[in-house]
Amino acid sequence: MTYRGGAILVGAMVLGVFGPQAASAQSAFRNYRCADGTQFVAGFFTGDTRAHLQLDGKAVTLTKRLSLTGTRYKGGGVTLEISRSGLARLRHAKRPATACELA
């Protein structure tokens, strides 16, 4: 019984310490609508250089890649490019690249 109570206490301490920080780590979620009809949500988190997409009903994590014209993310057969002016271009599922804008 003592061990079990200790585990609950430690669990409560972890939730108390990490709970508020996890919520404040959220940076931005952006909804995009593309010219070919594709819609997706991109999540960007403070301290994480990756982009987290919800695309075609699946979660995809993209790694940041080198780009001279803005920001480029790639992974799982998906490429997302965001220019410095905020315009986005998505390439996925062996389809041609399509222009996307914030919805």
Residues 19-60: pLDDT tens digits?
444 445 568 999 999 999 999 999 999 999 999 999 999 999
Q: How many structural domains are present in the chain?
A: 1
pLDDT of residue 24: 52
CA distance linking residue 32 with residue 88, whole number of Å: 9
- Residue 17, pLDDT > 50, answer no
> Residue 3 domain-assigned?
no
pLDDT of residue 26: 60
pTM over 0.85, yes/no: no
> Residue 38 domain-assigned?
yes
> Residue 97 domain-assigned?
yes
> Residue 12 domain-assigned?
no
pLDDT of residue 62: 98
